Amino acid sequence: MDTLLSVQGLSSGYRHLKVLHSVSLEITRGSVTAIIGPNGHGKSTLLKAIAGLLPTWTGVVMLDGTALPAAASERARAGLTLVPQGDQLFMNMTVEENLLMGAYVRTDAAAVKRTLDDVFTLFPRLHERRGQRANSLSGGERRMVGIGRGMMAAGKLVMIDEPSLGLAPLIIEQIYGALNLLANEGQSILVVEENPSRVAGVASAFHLMDGGSFAWSGSAAALARSSDVLKTYLGG
């Protein structure tokens, strides 16, 4: 197994409130891993802590065998990309400027241009709207910009926080279609979703988060067999 990301005993939280209790996680290169579970149990907190937006209280985060520095900017430069919940776009910038910000640390202009073309191929809608400001886009278009901006970093691992949040079913299908394409190209992805049915077709490894730690972990096949566990946590 070729491990890309290794998280060991990670604890973190907000101010004095501990949310993550010694979480450990391994991600294989080129795979899609999903973290599922009810709201308010630390899924987004885990992604923020891995990205360095929240301080690590205990534990280590290693990418490609080296321990990552604490600052979020340095982790991004090391190849860890987070597509945050609610997109967090640069609202007064155009779509194209937002996408170029995604490639901020890359220096090879020709390669950046190629990735930009890839993003426009994946989301033709963004090409139509590339001169438009982000604050004039619809929710689905914003999600596309968020994911496209994540692609622009050409990072080793892309972490996506609730890609389906607040979108109409038709748009969710489009977004997941895009994620599928990315996964087929060999992009390593860590995705967080409340509802496992959305990610069941894409991910190969699953972790169920409850109360700040993993209550259940397993493969796609194991998930299919463990409907009882899921019902207990997520309701039927």
**Which residues here bind another protein, judged by CB under 8 A?**
51-53, 71-73, 76-77, 81-82, 84, 88-93, 97, 100-102, 104-105, 135-139, 149, 153
Considering the complex, state which of residue 97 and residue 194 has its C-beta at the smaller distance from another protein. 97
CA angle 227, 231, 236 (to 5 degrees): 110
Burial of residue 21, with CB atoms counted within 10 A of its CB: 0-12 exposed, 13-18 middle, 19 or more buried: middle
DSSP string, 159-171: EEE-TTTT--HHH
Considering the complex, state which of residue 47 and residue 205 has its C-beta at the smaller distance from another protein. 47
Considering the complex, state which of residue 21 and residue 77 has its C-beta at the smaller distance from another protein. 77
**For residue 158, what are its two tokens?**
């892309």
Shortest separation between residue 76's beta carbon and another protein, angstroms: 4
Shortest separation between residue 214's beta carbon and another protein, angstroms: 24
Considering the complex, state which of residue 3 and residue 73 has its C-beta at the smaller distance from another protein. 73
Shortest separation between residue 102's beta carbon and another protein, angstroms: 6
Shortest separation between residue 118's beta carbon and another protein, angstroms: 18
**For residue 210, what are its two tokens?**
């409850």
Shortest separation between residue 34's beta carbon and another protein, angstroms: 21
Cα–Cα distances in Å, from 103 out to 5, 162, 236? 21, 22, 42
Shortest separation between residue 56's beta carbon and another protein, angstroms: 15
Considering the complex, state which of residue 71 and residue 181 has its C-beta at the smaller distance from another protein. 71
Considering the complex, state which of residue 101 and residue 220 has its C-beta at the smaller distance from another protein. 101
Shortest separation between residue 187's beta carbon and another protein, angstroms: 17
Helices (H), the chain: 43-51, 72-77, 95-102, 109-122, 124-128, 139-152, 169-184, 196-199, 220-225, 227-234
Q: Cα 234 vs. chain centroid, distance in angstroms?
A: 21
Query: Which helix (H) or strand (E) element contains residue 33?
Result: strand 32-36
Considering the complex, state which of residue 2 and residue 66 has its C-beta at the smaller distance from another protein. 66
Cα–Cα distances in Å, from 41 out to 17, 62, 132, 153? 13, 23, 36, 29
